[in-house]
Amino acid sequence: MKYSVEFRPAVLKSLKRFPKKDLVKIKKKIEKLGSNLPSPNTTKMKGNNPFHKIRSGDYRIIYEIHDDRLIILIVTVGHRRDVYKRLP
């Protein structure tokens, strides 16, 4: 089952500020996420929230899975030291 990947508008804006070499790695990870979804049991974040996370070097990609519409919504992407503070 292939999921389509969508971004929140703020994510697209923030991606422009990342270093070029890190941005390439992050984009590859996101592309791979749509075609090969990792097990939700291993990526689910703790707490009462719908968020999942994957790692790309020092950066984290936080996303939601919408199984009913086959969509992965990228919520935020950021450095590991402060990405969790900015969750909606």
pLDDT per position as a tens digit, 5-57: 999 999 999 999 999 999 999 999 999 998 888 888 899 999 899 999 999 99
75 against 88, higher pLDDT: 75
Domain contains 45 = no
Give the pLDDT confidence score for residue 51 in this predicted structure. Answer: 95
Tell me, yes or no, if the pTM score tops 0.75.
Answer: yes
Closest of 72, 64, 61 to residue 29, by C-alpha: 61
The number of domains in the chain is 1
Is 46 domain-assigned? no
- Terminal-residue alpha carbon distance, the chain: 28
Secondary-structure percent of the chain, ordered helix, strand, coil, rounded to 5? 35, 30, 35
- Burial (CB < 10 A; 0-12, 13-18, 19+), residue 8, is middle
What pLDDT does 25 receive?
95
CATH of the domain at 62: 3.30.2310.20
Whether residue 69 has pLDDT greater than 80: yes
**CB-based contacts of 47, cutoff 8 Å, min separation 6:** none
